[in-house]
């Protein structure tokens, strides 16, 4: 077969028996690094409330921590693309996946050092800068790690390997808070406001010293591992000036949209009247919706332009990538916004009337739901008999559910309200059996289930609504690898460039949650019913899941036109694979 494809190109013309074997040694090392990422992220659960108390921040100022984090992903990925667009060489491809991950870890270690200096100097904005540097390193690591995991075996099972790394990451995030709480407070019990307020600066410095050491240790592990291939690509990347200019314009417009939102927070609002607060919330919401429109319209216009003349668009000439960029933006947004607004919802009588200290196990179960789904989705990453795989698909999610319950019990939370949530886990198990490891079908089914869950939550109250919203984590769990694998399928030499574009769209986590929050505030001013605003604001996740279902439906047809079909049975004759988005006849056999 004569083709100009890179090694990452999906080889759908191969049967299972002739498929690319999985490099389990490299995959194991990569999983270790993913565990460190998840474990280290647990420190933010202490860092955010600590900053809010120590620096006397209001709610919006504390949200700057998340904003700085997600913004760094966007800026970092945009910088990687700009380097390749101007220089003609993809930086990640030039360094290789291995070195890119190592450099990213070391860069994050510098960010940890910057946070230590900022903590010692008592400067909040210095801490934001340090966190920004950490996330820039994450941006480089993620840009390399996602396609790297897919490349370590048959691309048709790439989503399973990404699920495996994600599941290990979620496990690190699950047990991380227990270890961090014990290290800082000498107990595994829930971290209360009193404990946060009593936390000294010296212990925070120790925490981030350990974080920096873990970054360096993970970098050394990856660098000295002989099992990990370099992943270097010498293929020169064509310039993509049109894509660069489009993204730069979009970035400029986003800045214009964000400036009024930040400026509107100046001044003391403690004595403002309800009417004044309503007008201010409406003002902020309009600009945030404007930022959302910039991303959506910008990507759709780029897709239309590239379809007419692909020259100069680079990876953005592929419709599966552009629509997948919007998919990642929406996915990260819905994953974050569903849980970010849940604490406020649970405080209202119709949803349990829980105190702040009682909400933690529900939040933990939401994030644990991601682990449950990713552990289950990772089963196909291993070469197992069909019967063994089916048995594991039943028991692995139940075991993962038990781990989440156990972790919360160890943390001395009341987990009795969560016992019947196992019914939602059983629904997810049934969905996995029906999806049959097919990424497009999996994305469509899980997005549809997420959509149904959000609608059930909106039109109900009490435990039913709570479980419905929590199950958003179950149905989000496999979306990242599915969207990622489907979006970069068939990109060939533009794979790492496309990966950078997708990582850039993590920005959705910084735009969609504030939009739901502002909509909740706006709707509440229109109603006398307590909790009406936050409850009805969950129409935002409904719209997000609707788009993800649409992407899962349409991308299958887009890829088939290019000769790519992950849904074919192993014994079917498969057509040759195209190298362009316009035709499936560009490969000679």
> Which tens digits make up the pLDDT trace of 310-357?
888 888 889 999 999 999 999 999 998 888 788 888 888 888 888 766
Q: Regarding predicted confidence, which is higher, 268 or 121?
A: 121
Q: How confident is the model at residue 15 (pLDDT cuts 50, 70, 90)?
A: very low
At 92-108, the pLDDT tens digits run 878 888 888 899 999 99
Among 212-216, 220-224, 232-236, 558-562, the least confident range: 232-236
Task: Give exposure, 213-233, as e/b (b: 16+ Cβ within 10 Å).
Answer: ebbeebbebbeebeebbebeb
Average pLDDT over residues 23-35: 81
- Residue 580: the pLDDT is 46
Residue 435's Cβ-side half-sphere holds a number of Cα atoms within 13 Å equal to 31
Average pLDDT over residues 165-174: 79
Dihedral sign computed on CA atoms, order 344, 348, 354, 356? positive
Average pLDDT over residues 78-101: 79
- Residue 460: the pLDDT is 93
Task: Give, as one character, the DSSP assignment of residue 152.
Answer: S
Note the pTM of the prediction, 2 decimals.
Answer: 0.80
CA angle 138, 143, 147 (to 5 degrees): 135
Q: Regarding predicted confidence, which is higher, 305 or 577?
A: 305
Most distant pair of Cα atoms in the chain: their distance: 75
Task: Give, as one character, the DSSP assignment of residue 586.
Answer: -
Per the prediction, the chain carries an average pLDDT of: 80
- Judge whether residue 570 has pLDDT over 70: no
Among 53-62, 128-137, 160-169, 255-264, the least confident range: 53-62
DSSP 314-367: GGGGSHHHHHHHHHHHHHHHHHHHHHHTHHHHHTSGGGT---GGGSHHHHHHHH
Q: How confident is the model at residue 88 (pLDDT cuts 50, 70, 90)?
A: low
- Residue 264: the pLDDT is 56
Q: How confident is the model at residue 544 (pLDDT cuts 50, 70, 90)?
A: very high
End-to-end CA distance of the chain: 5
Among 105-119, 358-372, 473-487, the least confident range: 358-372
Residue corresponding to tokens 């008592």 = 122
At 260-310, the pLDDT tens digits run 876 655 555 556 666 766 677 677 778 888 888 999 899 888 888 888 888
Residue corresponding to tokens 């569903």 = 338
Q: How confident is the model at residue 41 (pLDDT cuts 50, 70, 90)?
A: low
- Residue 352: the pLDDT is 83
- Residue 514: the pLDDT is 80
- Residue 445: the pLDDT is 95
- Residue 419: the pLDDT is 93
Average pLDDT over residues 79-94: 76
Grouping H, G, I as helix, E, B as strand and the rest as coil, residue 10 is coil
- Residue 431: the pLDDT is 93
- The token pair at 512 is 């969609």
Q: Regarding predicted confidence, which is higher, 104 or 82?
A: 104
Contact yes or no for 24/149 (Cβ under 8 A): no
Report the distance separating Cα 109 and Cα 125, nearest Å: 18
Q: How confident is the model at residue 401 (pLDDT cuts 50, 70, 90)?
A: very high
User: What stretch of H or E contains 577?
Assistant: none
At 518-534, the pLDDT tens digits run 788 778 877 777 778 88
- The token pair at 42 is 């647990």
- Judge whether residue 400 has pLDDT over 60: yes
Report the distance separating Cα 347 and Cα 531, nearest Å: 9
Closest by Cα among 505, 497, 76 to 315: 497
Burial class (CB in 10 A: 0-12, 13-18, 19+), 260: middle
- Residue 491: the pLDDT is 86
At 427-455, the pLDDT tens digits run 999 999 888 778 889 999 999 999 999 99
Grouping H, G, I as helix, E, B as strand and the rest as coil, residue 46 is helix
Grouping H, G, I as helix, E, B as strand and the rest as coil, residue 588 is strand
- Judge whether residue 423 has pLDDT over 90: yes
Q: How confident is the model at residue 171 (pLDDT cuts 50, 70, 90)?
A: confident
Among 176-185, 488-497, 564-573, the least confident range: 564-573
Residue 562's Cβ-side half-sphere holds a number of Cα atoms within 13 Å equal to 25
- Residue 63: the pLDDT is 59
Closest by Cα among 51, 55, 141 to 99: 141
Task: Give, as one character, the DSSP assignment of residue 421.
Answer: G
Average pLDDT over residues 233-242: 69
Q: Regarding predicted confidence, which is higher, 438 or 180?
A: 438
- Judge whether residue 574 has pLDDT over 90: no
């Amino acid at each position: 077969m004569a083709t100009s494809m890179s090694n990452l190109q999906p080889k759908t013309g191969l049967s299972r028996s002739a498929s690319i074997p999985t490099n389990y040694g490299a995959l194991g090392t990569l999983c270790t690094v993913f565990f460190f990422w998840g474990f280290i992220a647990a420190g933010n659960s202490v860092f955010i409330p600590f900053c809010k108390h120590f620096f006397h921040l209001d709610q919006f100022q504390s949200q700057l921590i998340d904003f700085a984090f997600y913004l760094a992903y966007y800026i970092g990925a945009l910088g990687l693309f700009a380097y390749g667009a101007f220089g003609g060489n993809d930086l990640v491809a030039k360094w290789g996946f291995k070195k890119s991950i190592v450099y990213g870890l070391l860069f994050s270690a510098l960010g940890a050092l910057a946070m230590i200096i900022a903590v010692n100097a008592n400067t909040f904005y210095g801490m934001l800068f340090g966190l920004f540097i950490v996330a820039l390193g994450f941006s480089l690591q993620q840009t390399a790690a996602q396609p790297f995991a897919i490349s370590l075996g048959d691309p048709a099972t790439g989503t399973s390997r990404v699920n495996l790394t994600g599941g290990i990451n979620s496990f690190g995030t699950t047990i991380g808070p227990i270890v961090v709480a014990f290290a800082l407070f000498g107990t595994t019990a829930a971290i209360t406001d009193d404990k946060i307020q009593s936390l000294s600066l010296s212990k925070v410095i120790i925490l981030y010293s350990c974080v920096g050491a873990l970054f360096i240790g993970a970098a050394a592990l990856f660098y000295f591992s002989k099992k990990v291939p370099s992943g270097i690509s010498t293929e020169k990347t064509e310039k993509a000036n049109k894509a660069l200019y489009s993204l730069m314009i979009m970035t400029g417009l986003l800045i214009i949209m964000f400036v009024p939102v930040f400026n509107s927070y100046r001044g003391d609002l403690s004595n403002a009247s309800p009417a004044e607060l309503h007008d201010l919330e409406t003002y902020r919401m309009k600009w945030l919706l404007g930022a959302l429109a910039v991303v959506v319209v910008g990507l759709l216009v780029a897709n239309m332009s590239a379809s007419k003349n692909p020259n100069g668009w680079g990876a953005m000439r592929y419709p599966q990538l552009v629509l997948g960029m919007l998919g990642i933006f929406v996915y990260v947004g819905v994953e974050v916004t569903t849980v970010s607004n849940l604490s406020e919802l649970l405080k209202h009588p119709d949803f349990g009337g829980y105190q702040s200290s009682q909400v933690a196990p529900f939040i933990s179960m939401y994030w644990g739901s991601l682990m449950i789904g990713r552990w289950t989705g990772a089963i196909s990453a291993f070469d197992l008999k069909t019967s063994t795989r089916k048995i594991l698909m039943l028991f692995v999610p139940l075991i993962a559910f038990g781990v989440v319950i156990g972790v919360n019990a160890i943390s001395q939370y009341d987990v009795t309200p969560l016992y019947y949530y196992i019914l939602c886990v059983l629904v997810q198990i049934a969905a996995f059996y029906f999806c049959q490891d097919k990424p497009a079908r999996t994305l469509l089914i899980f997005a549809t289930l997420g959509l149904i869950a959000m609608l059930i939550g909106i039109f109900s109250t009490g435990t039913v609504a709570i479980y419905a919203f929590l199950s958003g984590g179950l149905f989000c769990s496999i979306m990242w690898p599915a969207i990622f694998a489907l979006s970069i399928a068939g990109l060939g030499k533009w794979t790492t460039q496309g990966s950078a574009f997708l990582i850039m769209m993590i920005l959705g986590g910084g735009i969609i949650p504030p939009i739901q929050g502002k909509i909740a505030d706006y709707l509440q001013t229109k109603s006398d019913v307590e909790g009406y605003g936050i409850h009805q604001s969950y129409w935002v996740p409904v719209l997000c899941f609707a788009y993800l279902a649409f992407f899962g439906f349409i991308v299958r047809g887009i890829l088939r036109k290019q000769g790519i079909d992950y849904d074919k049975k192993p014994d079917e004759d498969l057509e040759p694979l195209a190298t362009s988005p316009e035709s499936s006849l560009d490969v000679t056999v």
